């Protein structure tokens, strides 16, 4: 979920940049479906309310391209009609609408410097018992499976007391992640040694494809979670939370609300892993930089986490 570098402007600010009009542009006359500025603004409002995504005005063509597929699938002839249909709240179409507008750029061992840091962090915790990790934007699974492989390499075997929650808003990518089947281009960044250890080839799969071994998959539990929901259907504490290349999709107030909600879910000495282009200076009361795009709780936030852990 959430893999695109969006403007950090609020929705209101972005709207001020591109005022609403009900008139299609000349370019729109050449399109299959009528798509007005008013339609675009209503879509921006819907996806912001649903997923916190602040679409910038330059994303207009992207929105048309992705949602045009939904118009064809539903048989609806204009974007105005489609937006009204979504606004009526049909759960299945609202989910399809949200899935269409989330971007899922990911790969195995992306931000590769994080995985040795994770191993170094977990090493002194290996004897403590259960270890819990949350990958909060798992997309098609490459990130949580990379975490699982890093953990297995640390232990020298696949430990059954390490649990990884792999969540995403997009139900389509979660289905792909659960299957754990990847094409050769997706596997290109996985070292050959790890491919031999943790993937199965053949077994009726297309040539070059491989599937994650069931015992490695057993470390992961996949869940649909919207980071904007008032409550999250799980319990902490988590030793590590991965929320990488996610916050860039939200405006600053939304980022802060999510970061604030992470605090009671973290172990007091836990780590938060962020993306390479993300910075949490605006949440300096909650998180302090521990390493390259790796954060720990501040003293005040740690006290809150301790109180949550005791409950």
Q: Can you list the alpha helix ranges (DSSP code H) found in 140-199? A: 142-155, 171-179, 192-198
How far, in Å, CA of 221 to CA of 26, rounded? 48
How far, in Å, CA of 223 to CA of 232, rounded? 10
Phi, psi of 166 (to 5 degrees): -115, 110
How far, in Å, CA of 280 to CA of 296, rounded? 11
DSSP designation for 24: P
Catalytic annotation present for 168: yes
Q: What share of the chain is helix, strand, coil (3-state, %, to 5)?
A: 45, 15, 40
Catalytic annotation present for 239: no
Burial class (CB in 10 A: 0-12, 13-18, 19+), 17: exposed
Instruction: Tell me which of 168, 170, 239, 251 is the catalytic residue.
Output: 168
Q: How far is CA 174 from the centre of its chain?
A: 10
Assess contact for 12 and 44: CB atoms under 8 A: no
How far, in Å, CA of 72 to CA of 91, rounded? 18
By annotation, the residues acting in catalysis are 66, 168
């Amino acid at each position: 979920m959430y893999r695109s570098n969006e403007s950090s402007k609020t929705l209101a600010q972005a709207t001020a940049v591109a005022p609403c009009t009900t008139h299609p542009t000349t370019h729109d006359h050449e399109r299959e479906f009528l798509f007005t500025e008013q339609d675009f603004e209503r879509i921006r409002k819907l996806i912001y309310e649903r997923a916190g995504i602040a679409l910038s005005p330059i994303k207009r063509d992207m929105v048309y391209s992705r949602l045009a597929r939904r118009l064809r699938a539903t048989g609806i002839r204009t974007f105005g009609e489609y937006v009204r249909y979504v606004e009526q709240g049909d759960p299945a179409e609202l989910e399809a609408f949200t899935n269409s507008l989330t971007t899922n750029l990911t790969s195995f061992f992306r931000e590769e410097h994080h995985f040795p840091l994770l191993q170094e962090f977990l090493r002194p915790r290996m004897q403590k018992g259960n270890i819990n990790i949350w990958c909060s934007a798992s997309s098609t699974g490459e990130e949580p499976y990379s975490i699982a492989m890093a953990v297995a390499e640390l232990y020298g075997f696949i430990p059954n007391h390490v649990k990884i929650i792999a969540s995403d808003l997009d139900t389509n990518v979660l289905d792909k992640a659960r299957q754990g089947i990847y094409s050769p281009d997706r596997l290109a960044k996985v070292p050959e040694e790890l491919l031999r250890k943790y993937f199965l080839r053949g077994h009726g799969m297309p040539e070059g494809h491989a599937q994650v071994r069931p015992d490695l998959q057993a470390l992961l539990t996949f869940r649909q979670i919207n980071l904007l929901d008032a409550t999250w259907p799980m319990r902490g504490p988590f030793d590590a939370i991965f929320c990488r290349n996610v916050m860039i999709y939200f405006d600053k107030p939304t980022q802060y609300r999510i970061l604030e909600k992470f605090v009671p879910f973290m172990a007091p000495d836990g780590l938060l892993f962020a993306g390479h282009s993300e910075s949490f200076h605006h949440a300096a009361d909650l998180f302090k930089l521990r390493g390259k795009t790796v954060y720990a709780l501040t003293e005040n936030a740690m006290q809150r986490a301790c109180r949550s852990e005791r409950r």
